[in-house]
Amino acid sequence: VRRTECGFFDMLCNRYSSEVIMAAANLKERISWWEEVRFGMFIHWGLYAVPAGVWKGEEIPGIGEWIMYRAQIPVDQYEQLAPKFNPVKFDAKEWVGLAKEAGMKYLVITAKHHDGFALFKSKVSDYNIVDATPYSKDPMKDLAKACKSAGIKLCFYYSQDQDWHEPGGRGNTWDFGPLSDKAFARYLENKVKPQLEELLTQYGPIGLIWFDTPGIITKKQSQDLKRYVHKIQPDCLVSGRVGHDVGDYGSMGDNMIPAGRVKGYWETPATLNDTWGFKKNDKNWKSTKELLILLVDLASKGVNYLLNVGPTDKGVIPPASVKRLKEIGAWMKVNGDAIYRTNPSPYPYEFKWGRITCKPGKMYLHLYDWPKGSFLLKGLKTAVFKAYPLADKKRKLDVTQTYDGKLKEHSLQIGSFGKKTDKFVSVVVLELDGDPKVD
Ligand code: FHN
């Protein structure tokens, strides 16, 4: 068809491949915004917020957004949640404002999770928030507007492999039985791609598509989806969970902290409690200090932190999440320089007292506990000419650097620190004569 019938197709195909080639070639440039910001907001929101972890009076174990699967709820029963989903308290400006206040620079929302429900207006399937719920508005439109004015990158999560609503999607064997390769391929063509097209054409520039759980997708299909995204928005990033390591960046396991620095572009998605989608009985919140330690730990290893909130069916982000994000934000206001645009620690090992991030000519010591006496750091070869807490730049800390020729050991000692500067994690800046070199 392409060769014989229509020059237009030829033109399209040429354009398709050049865009895709460009997208692959300039990854460094395309991904720089993402690498620099280090911190984003994940939002798991959908019909599962209605049962909120409880089905027919029974607490369903596991993460909230998996309730359909865990309780093997038939499609026709699960669909009955749509008329009950009416998020009248949803306020895009408030959500985006919270992300901004927390110091997060990108926002990834579940446009479609494994339950197959589209949280956006879709012509492909009327199983979407506009056509199937009393809310009948498209929250992505408001989010796109709010993100644009707040300078936050809007990104979409899209479950490409699992779809428990479709006979061709993976996962729902209780309604549909075993899945054939052909049916899955049809589902990719008839639902996934056209919905991706909607997401990539209805809301302006999209920072990234966060694909997830590549179970049965073939390498060819993963590559094809990536190409498809780049054909429509060449700058849009594609998450590693598109499958087969073909994404633009790597995705760690959920809540996973690597044992050390990692090469390349990586992100860890993480929860505030034990669920992603709202569960009314999950009160197992991490403390703000724990969350900040995770942020710092990941940044010291060169990994982005995508921290999740799970709003209720009314559109409210749980107060416990809000409180923690605001506290993180207050910390970021003072200490953000030690996170944004930083490089990982130059050391190939961890410290008990905290973590290190760097920038050209600077090293940031993130102290989990404020030292009572003096502080010793071994191995730094670069001369330090100034040291001060980031929260109190005028305070000069005494630094002594020595070299023991016999032991071939560099030591740096900071004398008394004075009054503790932060409630959670304290940052001390070392201004260096060049980039940090360690033995
Ligand atoms: O199955 C999903 C889960 O529901 C959630 O969306 C997380 C977030 O990273 N991803 C999958 C499990 O890894």
Identify the residue whose tokens are 């014989």: 4
Confidence category of residue 333, pLDDT binned at 50, 70, 90: very high
C-alpha 55 to ligand 1 mean position (Å): 20
Q: What's the pLDDT at 13?
A: 43
Identify the residue whose tokens are 């699992």: 162
The pLDDT of residue 5 is above 80: no
- Which of 41, 209, 211, 212, when mutated, tests ligand 1's pocket best, judged by the most ligand atoms within 8 Å of its CB? 212
Pick the atom of ligand 1 nearest to 110's CA. Answer: 6
C-alpha 213 to ligand 1 mean position (Å): 7
Q: What's the pLDDT at 20?
A: 53
For residue 254 and ligand 1, the question of a CB distance below 6 A is answered with yes
Helix (H, G, I), strand (E, B) or coil at 289: helix
- Rounded Cα distance between 94 and 319, Å, is 13
For residue 424 and ligand 1, the question of a CB distance below 6 A is answered with no
Residues 6+ apart with CB under 8 A from 271: 254, 255, 286, 307, 308
Q: Whole-model pTM?
A: 0.94
Average pLDDT over residues 41-59: 98
The model's pLDDT over 373-425, given as tens digits with 9 standing for 90+, comes to: 999 999 999 999 999 999 999 999 999 999 999 999 999 999 989 999 999 99
For residue 63 and ligand 1, the question of a CB distance below 6 A is answered with yes
Q: What's the pLDDT at 261?
A: 92
Pick the atom of ligand 1 nearest to 308's CA. Answer: 8
Across the chain, mean pLDDT equals: 94
Do residues 52 and 278 touch, judged by C-beta distance below 8 A?
yes
From the list 213, 164, 169, the residue with the least C-alpha distance to 191 is 169
Pick the atom of ligand 1 nearest to 269's CA. Answer: 9
C-alpha 38 to ligand 1 mean position (Å): 20
Amino acid at 194: P
Identify the residue whose tokens are 């130059």: 346
Q: Identify the residue whose C-alpha is closest to ligand 1 atom 13.
A: 254
- Which of 110, 254, 255, 303, when mutated, tests ligand 1's pocket best, judged by the most ligand atoms within 8 Å of its CB? 254
CA distance to 93, 319, 337, per residue, from 421 (Å): 32, 27, 16
**Number of CB atoms found within 10 A of residue 140's CB:** 23
- Rounded Cα distance between 180 and 226, Å, is 23
Q: What's the pLDDT at 22?
A: 60
- Rounded Cα distance between 436 and 362, Å, is 7
The model's pLDDT over 173-224, given as tens digits with 9 standing for 90+, comes to: 999 999 999 999 999 999 999 999 999 999 999 999 999 999 999 999 999 9
Q: What's the pLDDT at 7?
A: 40
Confidence category of residue 4, pLDDT binned at 50, 70, 90: very low
The pLDDT of residue 11 is above 70: no
The pLDDT of residue 93 is above 80: yes
- What is the tally of helices (H) and strands (E) in the chain? 13, 17
Work out the angle at residue 184's Cα, subtended by the Cα atoms of residues 182 and 185, and round it to the nearest 5 degrees.
65
The model's pLDDT over 262-300, given as tens digits with 9 standing for 90+, comes to: 999 999 999 999 999 999 999 999 999 999 999 999 999
Average pLDDT over residues 53-71: 98
CA distance to 53, 55, 195, 232, 332, per residue, from 318 (Å): 15, 20, 29, 35, 21
The pLDDT of residue 1 is above 90: no
C-alpha 105 to ligand 1 mean position (Å): 21
User: Buried (b) or exposed (e) across 192-227, using 16+ Cβ within 10 A?
Assistant: bbebbbbbbeebeebbbbbbbebeebeeebbbbbbb
**Number of CB atoms found within 10 A of residue 298's CB:** 27
Confidence category of residue 17, pLDDT binned at 50, 70, 90: low
User: Could you tell me the two tokens for 410?
Assistant: 């560099």
**Number of CB atoms found within 10 A of residue 2's CB:** 11
Residues 6+ apart with CB under 8 A from 26: none
The pLDDT of residue 6 is above 60: no
For residue 65 and ligand 1, the question of a CB distance below 6 A is answered with yes
The model's pLDDT over 138-159, given as tens digits with 9 standing for 90+, comes to: 999 999 999 999 999 999 999 9
Q: Identify the residue whose C-alpha is closest to ligand 1 atom 7.
A: 254
